[in-house]
Structure 1
Amino acid sequence: MTTPAVSLILATVGRTDELDRMFDSLAAQTFGDFEVIVVDQNQDERLRPHLERARQRGLAIRHLKQSQPNLAAARNTGIAAASGKWVGFPDDDCWYAPDLLQRVVDRFLRQDEPSGVVVRWVEQDEQPMVAGNLSWERSSAFRDIPVSSITLFCSRTVCTRIDGFDSRLGVGQWFGAGEETDFVLRALRTGAVFTYDPAAEVHHAVSSETPEATPQVRQAVRCRARGTGALYAKHHLPLWVIARGLIAPVLRPLLKGSFGADLALGCAVMRGRLDGLLGWHRRQS
């Protein structure tokens, strides 16, 4: 069996039909030297027909089971099983432009040989990064990050060097996000070079509407914001970065004269970041 150039680590729980769209986009790739490692966190066999359909379309699928839902830990399971020189981390409900993997591999093979490639998330309508490469100085000030996992490709050696993702952070954890940004920050500290390629595109639907500030939504927002607060403490970020991160979510809606859902959600973000900052010190001391 030949070793693939790229290993795509897809951690999933709960979703089924969305996987078919992702697999269809992979079957349409102009670059075909890749494997898909599906880390299945479901307690049943709901993925079986979807995985069989993907195999019938010619995809090299490896199916791993993990009983305890933890997105970061699932990705680490996939990294340990990966054999490709480079790895990517698609969500189970995203999809790739047909030339994405070809563009990513071509970028890795250029003379500067970056450690990682960050691609463009089309639906996010993001502003291009100011610099071609991420730097610790800008990233630690949250200028060019957070970087979503669906836009991130890196060498497998970087993943193993930094021991993958921190499973204390992310979906399903008390610190409900931040594992992707933490991954990049730790990699940059080891000297890894991540470059941005806006011509390589990934898709993931987003909602442009401000959600209703129900108690459940505010709690979910607060949980995710704890991850950012944890990063403040874990990476000993400057006081001005922390202060800006705590004040800005509330100040922005106030300056716009928005006193409804925007302000309520901004308060939830501020409280969550403060939770995470203090919680990291308490839990890790």
Structure 2
Amino acid sequence: MMANDAPQAVLLTLLVCTLGRVKPLERLLRSLNVQTRKNFEVIIVDQNPEGFLDATIQKFPALRIKHLRSRPGLSRARNVGLAASSGRYVGFPDDDVWYRPTVVEEVLDTFRRNSKLNIITGRSIDLEGHDVTVMLTEEALITRENIFEAGNSNTIFIERMLAQSLNFDEGLGLGAASDFQSGEETDFLLRALGKGAAGWYFPELTIYHDPIDDGAPIAERARRTTAYGRGFGYLIRKYRYPPPYILGKIAKTSLRGAWCLATGDFAGARLRIAWANGVLYGYSRGRPAFPVQK
């Protein structure tokens, strides 16, 4: 091997936790295979039966892949991956997202140009460029007040050493042994801010994600919406947001639900009721003791 053919030092770790998905994961890996910058590693934390992903991973010999295993639980799996990360920065793509060819380059260049930042975030969009979730429209410093609209797990990039000092709360997130199956990434960011970390939201940093409204039955969508609401309500109480904050959110959602009813959108009304019920449940639970497990 010639000296100039030597592998570039790893600057970015992309930590992918996966369960039950093959084709979406392969789509993500294909998108990583054509990145304009190659100085990254991929850590796949596999929660499937033994051998489930072997054939998929073998299709991408050019990628630096660490294939790890974990017991179920998204936050648990992320902590397993964090312990094995070696990049200066870490990102957390879900197994159903995919990257534009320049995402790694954009992330590294953004950190290089903004050396005082510990965290950057962006937007998840569908193929038509529409936001997958409600996000800010302008660049912004990430604060307690805007954090719920300033990034989700797929668009978080953070200094590795900071991330390893935090870990994810294994009592939150999909597969956790609790009623709170969401909110783990916002909790993670709020704890980072509490340590004095500086984060900035860049709306031009976009990552593709399938639309949330994926044709699932309304009962399933309502169940997921309730889960999101519970996580939100729990975090609002845990981090002592003032009561007017949560009341304002519920009032806004209730008004949208009433509009849905008035216009015959009964599915939309049901989803908003589900979210409000979830928020109230999560808020009523106070601050359960879910320590970060290392």
Report the TM-score, using the length of structure 1 for normalisation. 0.88
The change in CA–CA distance for 1:245 and 1:130 in structure 2 (over 3 A counts) is: same
The change in CA–CA distance for 1:65 and 1:206 in structure 2 (over 3 A counts) is: same
The sequence identity of aligned pairs, in percent, is 33
Mapped partners of 1:18, 1:27: distance in 2: 14
Match of 1:168 in 2: 171
Match of 1:8 in 2: 14
Q: Deviations over 1:5-26 (max 9, x none)?
A: 1111000000011111111110
The change in CA–CA distance for 1:47 and 1:245 in structure 2 (over 3 A counts) is: same
In the alignment, structure 2 segments of 5+ residues that lack a partner are 1-6
Match of 2:238 among 228, 234, 239: 234
Partner SS state of residue 60, structure 2: helix
Q: Deviations over 1:203-254 (max 9, x none)?
A: 011055886533x432332122111011011111111111123333222121
Matches within 5 A, 1:247-258: 247-256=251-260, 257-258=262-263
For the aligned residue pairs, the C-alpha RMSD in angstroms reads: 2.2
Match of 2:194 in 1: 189
In the alignment, structure 1 segments of 5+ residues that lack a partner are none
1:110 aligns with 2:113: yes
Match of 2:163 among 151, 159, 179: 159
Instruction: Give 1:282 deviation, angstroms.
Output: 5.8
Match of 1:179 in 2: 184
Partner SS state of residue 42, structure 1: coil
Instruction: Give 1:128 deviation, angstroms.
Output: 4.5
Mapped partners of 1:190, 1:282: distance in 2: 21
Q: Deviations over 1:150-174 (max 9, x none)?
A: 111110122123x221111111232
Is contact 1:129–1:196 with CA below 8 Å preserved after alignment? no
Alignment size in residue pairs: 275
The farther-off stretch of 119-128 and 225-234 is 119-128
The change in CA–CA distance for 1:235 and 1:98 in structure 2 (over 3 A counts) is: same
Report the TM-score, using the length of structure 2 for normalisation. 0.86
Instruction: Give 1:91 deviation, angstroms.
Output: 0.8
Mapped partners of 2:85, 2:282: distance in 1: 32
Is contact 2:137–2:203 with CA below 8 Å preserved after alignment? no
Match of 2:101 in 1: 98
Match of 1:244 in 2: 248
